[in-house]
Amino acid sequence: MKTLKDVPVGSSAVVAKLHGEGPVKRRIMDMGIVKGVEITVRKVAPAGDPLELALRGYELSLRKDEAALVEVV
Amino acid sequence: MGIKIALAGNPNSGKTTLFNDLTGSNQYVGNWPGVTVEKKDGLLKGHKDVTIQDLPGIYSLSPYSLEERVSRKYLVEERPDAILDIVDGTNIERNLYLTTQLAELGLPMVVAVNMMDLVDKAGDRIDFAKLGKALNCKVVGISATKGQGCADAAQSALEYAAGGRTGEVPHVFTGEVEHAIAHIEESIQGKVPQESIRWYAIKIFERDKDAIAGLELDPELLAHVEEHIKDCEKELEDDAESIITAQRYAFIQKLMARCVTKNEALRRKVRMSDKIDRVLTHRILSIPAFVAALMAMYWLAVSDNGPGTVLTDWANDGLLGDSGWFLPWSGHDSEKEGSAYAGMSWEDASDAYAKPAASIEAYEAGGGEPVEAWLEDEETGEILEDEDGNPEKWTVDAAAYAAAKAVEEPDPHDFGIWIPGAKAVLGGWLDRWGVEEGSMARALVIEGIAGGVFTVLGFVPVIAIVFLFLSFLEDCGYMARVAFIMDRLFRSFGLSGKSFIPMLVGKGCGVPAVLAARSIENQRDQRMTVILATFIPCGAKTVIIAMFSAVFFREWWWVAALMDLFGIAIIILGGIALKKTRAFAGEAAPFIMELPAYHMPTFRNIVIHTWTRVKAYAIKAGVVIFPCCVVLTLMMTFGWRFQVVDDIADSILATVGGWLAWLTAPLGFGTWQGAAASLSAEIAKEQATATLAMVAGGDGSAAANILAMFKDWGGADYKAVAFSFMLFNLFIPPCIVAVVNTFKEMGTRAWGWFAVGFQMFVGYLLALNAYQFGRLATSGAWGVWTAVAVAADLWVLWMIFRPMPKALKEAA
C-alpha cells in the first residue's frame, strides 16, 4: 500500500482512501484530505519530520505518522 | 436584550482583524466556562445594543476539539441572532467547508469573503451572487486589513438578524444521503427545534453522540434510523462521517467551478509567500533564520540592555520608584555655577557623593557612636574594593560625619529634566500631610498599598514587549513555521513544537510565558506547557543566581549555566514523566497544522492584541495579586501589635517563618530566616536576596552577613545549605503573579493545584538532594531524610523511565 509518507518531496499524488479512525481521521478529512484530492509534498522539516503539503490552494503540515494513514495512487 | 452576532471562521482567515475593526479596542477577554479556550466579545462600534461574539478559529464543527465543541455548543444552545462567517478568499475552497456546516444551523447568516485585495491582485474573480444563491445566504466581499466593506458586512448581518432566516438550508449531499437525511428529519419531527432540524438530522447520520446527547431520543427510533445509515454506508462503501465530509468537499468543488475564476497565467508566477517560505523552512537555511528570530526575542525580553529589561528597570526604579528618572535625551552635565559637580554627569556626581552618603547613613544608624562605613555592590552585596583590591572601609566619627554633611548633595534637577518616581511623589504628599517617617500609616500606604500596586504594574512593560513580538510572529505566519521546525524535537518528550515559544519567553519572565501557552490548541499540551514553562530561570531568578554565585560559589563559574540546564532537564524529564500519568496519557496530539501564507501584519492589529492582553492581565491578575502583595509586605513591615518594626526579626513574617521552619529543616535551612526569605520571594523572586540581607543581621557587608548566617546554619556543610536554598527558591512555584496566572490558564482550581503541587515537589526534591548529598559528600553525615531523598529519587526515576502503563496504552 502506497501512502502519502512514501511520496517523494516535490511530487504529487491523488488520495485513494483514508485509514485510521476517530478524531485524527476526522481532523485529516476536515482539512480537505478526502478521496480524489491531489496533494503535493512540498518539503520536509529540518529534523526529518513533519511534512509540508500543498492541497486545495493552501499549505498544510502533517507528521509522517499521520501521512501514513493516507493511501494514495 | 440586545442583538448578538457570532463571528465564526477558520484560523488565519482574518477573523481577529475583522473583530478588531468592528469593535475597536473595547474588548472583553476571558475563558469559556470551565475550559481554557479564549472567549472574546465586544460591542459593535456605533451600536450600544449589538454584541459581537468572537468564536474560536475553527476548521469544522466536529465533536473532537475543544474549540469546536465550545463553538457549536454556543451556536446551538445560545442561538445568536445571526452568524457573520468570515472566509479567506485566497483559500476559499477549504474555508467554505466550515460555511456548509454553519449553514445547517438554520441561523441567519452573512458570509464575508475576506482578503479581496489579494484576490484581486492575483487576478481571480469570485461571483458573490451565485455563491450566495447556492449557499442561501448573503455573500459580501471585504478586506479586513484595509477596513474595506467591514461595516457593510456587519450592517448586512444586523439586517439579517432582524429579518430572521428565510428559505431552505442548501442541500449539499448526493441523492442517497439526502434521502437518508430526509428520513431522519421525518422521524425526529417535533422532537428538536424546527429551525435546526437539518443540523440534528445530519449529526444523527454522522453518529455524533455529543451533538444529540441532550435530546433524549428514543433508542428504538435511533435503531430504525441506523438501518438507513447502514444502507447508505453499504452503497457508498465508506463510513457515514467520511461520506458527509467527502461530499461537502465535492459540493464545494462544484461550487468553485461555477463561482470562482482563477487567473492561471498569474498563478504560475511564484508567490511572494512561497519565496519567503523557501528560506524560512529550508532544511538548512531555516536554522540560521530561526536562531536570528530567537536572538531577536531574547534581546527584546531578556538581555541586559534590551528594551524589556530597560523598560522594566525604568518602570520599577524610575517611574514607580522612590527616587525618579530623567526624561530621555534630556540628561546633560551640570551647568550650575559654583557647584562642586559643575561639568559632571549625573552618574559621576552620584559616584562622587556615594561615600559621604554612606558615611551619613552609617553614622545616623549608629546613634552617635563612631562606626565603620563602606560601599556595597548593588547586585552581590559585597564591599567594594579600593585600588589595591582590599575591601575598602573607613571609620566615621562625629567630625567625619560633620564633614560628610558639609558635602554638597547633587540635585538631579541640575542634570536634566528630572521626574520624581511615584513612590517619591507619594512620600512627598505624606510629608505634607504630616504622616511621619516610620509611622504605621506611612508604611501601610507606601510599603503595602503602593508596593502591591507597583508590583503588578512593574510586569506591564515586559508583558507588553513579549506580546508585541509574539503577535507579530503569529500574525505574519512565522509562528506556525517555528512549530513546524521544532516539532520533532519536542515530540520526543511529549510536547509539540508549539510549546517552544512559551519556554523561550520564560527565560525573560514566567508571566507572559504562562499566557503565551494559549496559542497551543491542544489542551493537554497547553496545560503541560504551563506547568513546565516556569522552570526556566526567569530574569528575577537570575538575581538570586548572581548573588549566590558571588557569595558562595565564586570558583564555580558554571553555576548560572547549570541552573538553565536544570530548567531544561526538568522540562524534558517532567514532560516524559507526566505523559505516563493518567492525566496526560494518550497519543501525541496530531500535528495537523495549517502553514498560513506570510503577510505583513497591520500595526493596529498588533497594538490592539497587545493592549487587550495587558489590560486583561492588569485587571484580572491585579485583583488577586494586589492583596497578596499587600499582605506579604505588611507581614514584613509590621509586628503583631501592628507597630512598624525596625528589626525584621520582630515582624509577623518572622513568626510565620518560624512556624514553617520545620518544613525546610530537611533542606538544611530550618530557621525562621530561611523560611521567611523563601516566603517573601513569592512577591517577586529577587526579593529572596533582599530579605536574606535583612534577616542576616550582623555588622559586616550584606554578603558577609549572609555568608556568616549560612555558616551558622550549616557549619562545614554551609555550601550544601546555600545550594539547597538556591535550588529551592528557583524551582518551587514561581512568584505569586505567575502562580495566579497559572491557576487562570489551567482552567480549573484542581488543575491549578496540580500545577503548583508538581512545581513544589520538584523544587523541594532538588533542594533535598542538594543538602542531603552535599552534606554526605562534605562531612559524611546522613540521616532519615537522606534515606527519604534516595527513596524519592528512585520513585522519580521510575516515573520517568518506566514503560508506558498498559492500561493507559490501551486507552490511547
A41 interaction partners in chain B (CB closer than 8 Å)? none
Pairing of strands A12-18, A38-44: antiparallel
User: Is the pLDDT higher at B256 or at B465?
Assistant: B256
pLDDT at site B172? 87
With H, G, I as helix, E, B as strand and everything else as coil, classify residue A61. strand
- Dump pLDDT digits (tens) for B133-164: 999 889 999 999 888 999 999 999 999 888 87
**Cβ contact B717:B775 at 8 Å:** yes
Predicted complex ipTM exceeds 0.90 = yes
SS3 B407: coil
- Is the pLDDT higher at B34 or at B86? B86
What's the one-letter identity of residue B489? L
Question: In angstroms, what separates the C-alpha of B287 from chain A's closest C-alpha?
Answer: 8
Q: What is the mean pLDDT of residues B440-456?
A: 74
CATH classification (class only), B175-264: mainly alpha
The label of the residue with cell 501564507 reads B597
Mean pLDDT of B630-654: 81
Which set of grid coordinates corresponds to residue B495? 510536547
Q: Is-contact B104 B200, C-beta < 8 A?
A: no
User: What is the spatial distance between Cα B512 and Cα B510, in angstroms, rounded to a whole number?
Assistant: 6
The answer to whether B108 touches B164, Cβ cutoff 8 Å, is yes
Helix, strand, or coil here: A62? strand
The continuous run of DSSP H or E covering B594 comes out as strand B593-594
Specify the DSSP class assigned to residue A14: E
What is the separation of C-alpha B121 from the centre of its chain, rounded to a whole number of angstroms? 38
Selecting from B64, B92, B489 the residue whose C-beta is nearest the C-beta of A23 gives: B64
Neighbours of B227 (CB within 10 A): 11
State whether A50 and B91 contact (CB < 8 Å).
no
Per DSSP, chain A holds a count of helices (H) and strands (E) of 2, 5
Q: For residue A31, which residues of chain B lie inside 8 Å, CB to CB?
A: 59, 94, 592, 594
How far is the C-alpha of B106 from the C-alpha of B166, rounded, in Å?
A: 9
pLDDT tens string B252-261:
999 999 999 8
- Model confidence at B1: pLDDT above 70: no
For chain B, helix (H) and strand (E) counts, in that order, are: 38, 14
Of B556, B561, B548, which is closest to residue B382 (Cα–Cα)?
B548
pLDDT given for residue B617 in this prediction: 72
For residue range B190-200, what is the model confidence (pLDDT) as tens digits? Answer: 888 888 899 99
Q: Do B97 and A30 touch (CB under 8 A)?
A: yes
Give A-chain residues touching B67 at CB under 8 angstroms. none
B30 grid coordinates: 476571558
Asked if pLDDT for residue B792 goes beyond 90, the answer is yes
What SS3 class is residue B791? helix
Q: With an 8 Å Cβ cutoff, are B62 and A62 in contact?
A: no
Q: Does A25 touch chain B (CB under 8 A)?
A: yes
Nearest to A66 among B592, B594, B596 (CB): B592
Residues of B in contact with A46 (CB under 8 A): 283-284, 286-287, 485
Residue B812 has pLDDT above 60, yes or no: no
Chain mean pLDDT for chain B: 85
pLDDT of A67 reads 94
Residue B286 near chain A (CB below 8 Å): yes
Is B219 near chain A, with CB under 8 Å? no
Is there a contact between B644 and B437 (Cβ–Cβ < 8 Å)? no
* Residue B266 predicted with pLDDT over 90: no
Contact assessment for residue B598 and residue B272, using Cβ atoms and an 8 Å cutoff = yes
Confidence of residue B3 (pLDDT cuts 50, 70, 90): very high
Q: Where are the strands (E) in B343-447, listed by range?
A: 371-374, 393-396, 418-420
Which helix (H) or strand (E) segment holds residue B527: the answer is helix B523-533
What percent of chain B lies above the pLDDT cut of 70?
Answer: 95
* CB distance B259 to B127 below 8 Å: yes
Contacts of B65 in chain A (CB under 8 A): 23, 27
> Which one of B185-189, B266-270, B559-563, B701-705 scores highest in mean pLDDT?
B185-189
Rounded mean pLDDT of B460-482?
A: 80
pLDDT in tens, B204-229: 999 988 888 878 888 888 888 899 89
Q: How many CB atoms lie within 10 A of CB B118?
A: 17
- What is chain A's Cα-based Rg? 11
* CA quadruple B20, B22, B23, B29: dihedral sign: negative
Min Cα distance A54 → chain B (Å) is 10
Asked whether residue B303 carries a pLDDT value surpassing 80, the answer given is no
For chain A, say whether B59 makes contact (Cβ under 8 Å): yes
List B644's β-bridge partners, or say none: B638
Q: How far apart are the first and last CA of chain A?
A: 9
Q: Cα–Cα distance between B504 and B303 in angstroms, integer?
A: 13
- Averaged pLDDT, B769-792: 93
User: What nine digits make up the cell of B670?
Assistant: 530550618
Residue B177, all three cell numbers: 444521503
CB A50 within 8 A of CB B592: no
pLDDT at B327: 86
How confident is the model over B153-181, as a mean pLDDT? 85
Give the pLDDT score at B36.
64
- Provide DSSP, B51-84: EEEEPPP-S---SSSHHHHHHHHIIIII--SEEE
Which residues lie below 8 Å from residue B222, measured CB to CB, with a gap of 6+?
B204
Most confident of A51-60, B678-687, B694-703: A51-60
Query: Binning pLDDT at 50, 70 and 90, where does residue B165 land?
Result: low
What does the alpha-carbon distance between residue B797 and residue B799 come to, in Å, rounded to a whole number?
A: 5
Using CA atoms, how far apart are residues B301 and B591, in angstroms rounded to an integer? 29
B600 contacts chain A (CB < 8 A): no
Cell numbers for B720: 550544601
* B284–A27 C-beta distance less than 8 A: no
> In this structure, are residues A64 and A50 in contact, taking their beta carbons and an 8 Å threshold?
yes
Average of per-residue pLDDT across B275-299: 79
Is the pLDDT at B700 greater than 80, yes or no? no
A57 and A1 Cβ atoms separated by less than 8 Å: no
Give φ, ψ of B735 to 5 degrees: -60, 165
Domain extents in chain B: 3-163, 175-264, 331-416, 539-590+647-812
- Fill in the amino acid letter for B23: T
- Angle CA B426–B431–B437, to nearest 5: 95
Cβ-defined contact of B484 to A31 (cutoff 8 Å): no
Closest CA relative to residue A69, chosen from B587, B781, B47: B587
User: Among candidates B150, B96, B114, which has minimal Cα distance to B14?
Assistant: B114
DSSP state, residue B618? I
3-state secondary structure B125-163: EECHHHHHHHHCCEEEECECCCCECHHHHHHHHHHHHHH
**Contact between B53 and B7 (Cβ < 8 Å):** yes
Tally the C-alpha atoms within 13 A of residue B735's C-alpha that lie toward its C-beta. Answer: 27
**Does pLDDT of B519 surpass 90?**
no
* Closest chain A C-alpha to B238 CA, distance in angstroms: 10
> Which helix (H) or strand (E) element contains residue B491?
helix B478-491
User: pLDDT digits over B357-408, tens only?
Assistant: 888 888 887 777 888 888 887 766 778 888 887 888 888 888 889 888 888 8
CATH of B3-163, one of 3.30.230.10, 1.10.40.30, 3.40.50.300, 3.40.50.10310: 3.40.50.300
Contacts of B589 (CB under 8 A, 6+ apart): B496, B522, B524, B525
- Residue written as grid cell 511623589: B425
Residue positions counted in chain B: 812
**HEC letters along B221-288:** HHHHHHHHHHHHHHHHCCCHHHHHHHHHHHHHHHHHHHHEECCHHHHCCCCHHHHHHHHHCCCCCHHH
Instruction: Work out the end-to-end distance of chain B between its first and last CA atoms, rounded to an integer number of angstroms.
Output: 46
CATH number of A4-72: 2.30.30.90
Binning pLDDT at 50, 70 and 90, where does residue B267 land? low
User: In 3-state terms, what secondary structure has residue A9?
Assistant: coil
**Does B810 score more than 70 pLDDT?**
no
In whole angstroms, give the CA distance from residue B215 to residue B233: 24
B766 pLDDT band, cuts 50/70/90, is very high
Of B811 and A2, which is predicted with more confidence? A2
d(Cα B734, Cα B683) in Å, to the nearest integer?
A: 9
Whether the per-residue pLDDT at B705 is higher than 80: the answer is yes
In tens, the pLDDT along B503-514 reads 877 877 788 889
The grid cell for B91 is 483559500
Which residue type is seen at B59?
Answer: Y
pLDDT band at B538 (very low <50, low <70, confident <90, very high): confident
pLDDT band at B704 (very low <50, low <70, confident <90, very high): confident
User: Is-contact A70 A18, C-beta < 8 A?
Assistant: yes
B748 pLDDT above the threshold of 70: yes
Within a 10 A sphere around the Cβ of B555, how many other Cβ atoms? 7
Q: Which residues of A touch B286 (CB under 8 A)?
A: 46
| B3-163 and B175-264 share one fold | no
Which three-class secondary structure state does DSSP give residue B426?
A: helix
Pick the closest to residue B19 from B644, B604, B592 (CA basis): B604
Query: B753 vs chain A: nearest CA distance in angstroms?
Result: 30
Q: What angle in degrees, to the nearest 10, is found between the helix axes of B672-680 and B718-731?
A: 30
Total length of chain A: 73
Q: Does B94 contact A28 at a Cβ distance shorter than 8 Å?
A: no
As to burial, measured by CB atoms within 10 angstroms (0-12 exposed, 13-18 middle, 19+ buried), residue B299 is middle
* Helical packing angle, B523-533 and B736-746, nearest 10°: 170
Query: Does the structure show a pLDDT above 60 at B305?
Result: yes
Residue type, B237: E
Q: Domain ranges in chain A? A: 4-72
Give me the sign of the Cα torsion angle B272, B276, B281, B284: positive
The band of B416, judged by pLDDT with boundaries at 50, 70 and 90, is confident
Cβ-defined contact of B242 to A63 (cutoff 8 Å): no
- Whether the pLDDT of residue B30 is over 80: the answer is no
pLDDT of res. B587: 64
